[in-house]
Chain A
Amino acid sequence: MSFIQVENLSFRYDQTRTIIEDLSLSLEKGRNLGIVGESGSGKTTLLRLLLGLAQPSAGSISIDGQVLDTKNWQFMRDFRRRVQAVFQDPYSSLDPRQAIFDIVAEPLRALKIDVDVAKAVAEAATAVGLPADAAQRYPHEFSGGQRQRIAIARAIVARPDLVLADEVVSALDLSTRILIVDLLKALSTSVTFVVVSHDIALVALLCPDIAIMEKGRIVESGPTEHVLSNPVHPYTRRLLASTPRLP
């Protein structure tokens, strides 16, 4: 039994607009998965389904054999603790009116997790490399990279099994990007990431497994090294050929 099992998942708005079509994948704990696709490929919709923020039109998602049931609030509370997310834009994903301590502590409060909040927040802040005095400050005092660290601290504070990372470095400068990649790599020893991105290099740095999405389907998947060195599907080939390389 896989940790996360997605079976024949479909999502459509109406008869004519199918966003995800008959998609299956599985995910093991401790093995990061990268989902690569261009805009409109359905990767964000897949992420929303994985987070339980949208209902599939057909098919199912299960976690440790239990089917994700968005109507079962008790199940969802446990699910939300186990599955967290970090989003692309660190400027819109943090509440500007809350101090960093409250932002990072939010999942613990919302999910009524019975832990020493101050200790858990301090641990998460240390794990992502935030300065010691960050807790009482506000988001506007931080750079994009630091904000993304705050969002990551919030995602790991409840000690989830899985963190879905949606284009987490796209909004950052190159030199900051590399620092966040190092951080995610270090955190990968204790939490599994699903890295959703259009950036193959990012996925290659972080994920042993890769799935290539096009038009709502996974067209190719497998160990990243293998897929990158022997791309079979024409779309994967085009994607790789289009990726700019250093001379």
Chain B
Amino acid sequence: MSALLTIDRMSIAAGERQLVRNVSFSIAPGERLGLIGESGSGKSLTALALIGLLSDAMMATGSILLADTEVVGARERQLVALRGPVVATIFQEPLTALDPLMRVGRQIGEVVRRRMRHDCVSTSSQQVQARVLELLARVSIPDPERLARAYPHEISGGQRQRVAIAMALAWRPRLLIADEPTTALDVTTQADILKLIGQLVEEENMALLFISHDIPVVAAAVDRVAVLKQGELVEDGSVGEVLQAPNNGYTRSLIEAARTFDRALGRLF
């Protein structure tokens, strides 16, 4: 099966400054890849580049082939067709991803309606409403009717992230990008959201690009990891390979740091 996403010698520059250098990796349909790196390593830029959302001051070169469409140099029209049906994104801070003035149900409904239009299916508002409630139930929100009427500020951080996931899911995308989706959440909420993402990715047969600096979190969410350091890809392998026998010195030091914290927790639970 051919890859859903193939990034080939992609670089991103802001004027003279090279922010990402010659990065190549690919994701097969249904595959879960983790992109690990510290702040400033270029991991979020890479995600933005592949949906054509880099700011005007930045330029991507090389090739990003997403569902057989070349993203580098693509026209806005082509990109719009990719965003949503092919790739949907959830971000770290769900509060900024949601419109504060619109009830949660309507925000999800908007996406549902656009997806139905995309499929050339005519819609009634009852159908949209039913699908919104179905999506909220899918992301394990206990009282979908009540939550659909809430504004983003009225619900907790964990529920906001569930809503953001429901919006991404409404597109039925082939690739889900999750950019630090649990960094702003409490540990117990993080565990719930990770479980939810894992379950949905499997049920919907979506591919996943999971971006995080937190190695144990990434290891729990994906099958394969790539490590970025100062804009360069220094490692790409299965979670087991990379954790047990990292090729690169930088990856080794990161894993050693993660192990120090992990060891402190002991073996008993």
Binding site for B on A (CB under 8 A): 38-39, 144, 173-175, 177-178, 181, 198, 200-202, 204-205, 225, 228-229, 231, 238-247
A174 and B188 contacting across the interface, CB-CB below 8 Å: no
B264 and A242 contacting across the interface, CB-CB below 8 Å: no
CB-CB under 8 A for A201 and B261, given A229-B268, A244-B214: yes
B187 and A175 contacting across the interface, CB-CB below 8 Å: no
Interface-facing stretch out of B93-101, B139-147, B167-175, B251-259: B251-259
A198 and B187 contacting across the interface, CB-CB below 8 Å: yes
Cβ of B215: which chain A residues have Cβ within 8 Å of it?
174, 246
B268 and A201 contacting across the interface, CB-CB below 8 Å: no
Q: How many Å from the CB of B263 to the closest CB on chain A?
A: 9
The chain B residue sitting closest to A237, CB to CB, is: B269
B216 and A245 contacting across the interface, CB-CB below 8 Å: yes
Distance in angstroms between the alpha carbons of A178 and B262 in the assembled complex: 12
Cβ of A246: which chain B residues have Cβ within 8 Å of it?
215-216, 219, 243, 258-259, 262
- A-B contacts, 11 of them at CB < 8 A, read A173-B39, A173-B213, A174-B254, A175-B254, A178-B260, A200-B265, A204-B264, A205-B264, A225-B266, A241-B269, A242-B191
A175 and B188 contacting across the interface, CB-CB below 8 Å: no
Binding site for A on B (CB under 8 A): 38-39, 157, 186-191, 194, 213-217, 219-220, 239-240, 243, 253-254, 257-262, 264-266, 268-269
Distance in angstroms between the alpha carbons of A246 and B262 in the assembled complex: 7
B219 and A247 contacting across the interface, CB-CB below 8 Å: yes
Cβ of A144: which chain B residues have Cβ within 8 Å of it?
39
Q: How many Å from the CB of A182 to the closest CB on chain B?
A: 9
Cβ of B266: which chain A residues have Cβ within 8 Å of it?
204, 225, 228-229
Distance in angstroms between the alpha carbons of A32 and B220 in the assembled complex: 31
CB-CB under 8 A for A239 and B260, given A174-B213, A175-B253: no
User: Which among A144, A177, A202 has the greatest number of chain B C-beta atoms within 10 A?
Assistant: A177
The chain A residue sitting closest to B221, CB to CB, is: A244
Cβ of B187: which chain A residues have Cβ within 8 Å of it?
38, 198, 200, 239, 242-243
Distance in angstroms between the alpha carbons of A177 and B213 in the assembled complex: 12
Q: How many Å from the CB of B225 to the closest CB on chain A?
A: 12
The chain A residue sitting closest to B216, CB to CB, is: A244
Cβ of A238: which chain B residues have Cβ within 8 Å of it?
188
B264 and A201 contacting across the interface, CB-CB below 8 Å: yes
Distance in angstroms between the alpha carbons of A231 and B261 in the assembled complex: 19
Distance in angstroms between the alpha carbons of A177 and B214 in the assembled complex: 12
Cβ of B217: which chain A residues have Cβ within 8 Å of it?
244
Cβ of A177: which chain B residues have Cβ within 8 Å of it?
257, 261
The chain A residue sitting closest to B183, CB to CB, is: A170
A174 and B265 contacting across the interface, CB-CB below 8 Å: no
Cβ of B239: which chain A residues have Cβ within 8 Å of it?
247
Cβ of A241: which chain B residues have Cβ within 8 Å of it?
191, 269
The chain B residue sitting closest to A38, CB to CB, is: B186
B268 and A175 contacting across the interface, CB-CB below 8 Å: no
Distance in angstroms between the alpha carbons of A238 and B187 in the assembled complex: 9
Q: How many Å from the CB of A171 to the closest CB on chain B?
A: 9
CB-CB under 8 A for A242 and B188, given A173-B38, A174-B215, A228-B269: yes
User: Which among B38, B39, B216, B261 has the greatest number of chain A C-beta atoms within 10 A?
Assistant: B261
**Residue from A198, A202, A231 within 8 A of B186 (CB atoms):** A198
Q: How many Å from the CB of A66 to the closest CB on chain B?
A: 35
Cβ of A242: which chain B residues have Cβ within 8 Å of it?
187-188, 190-191
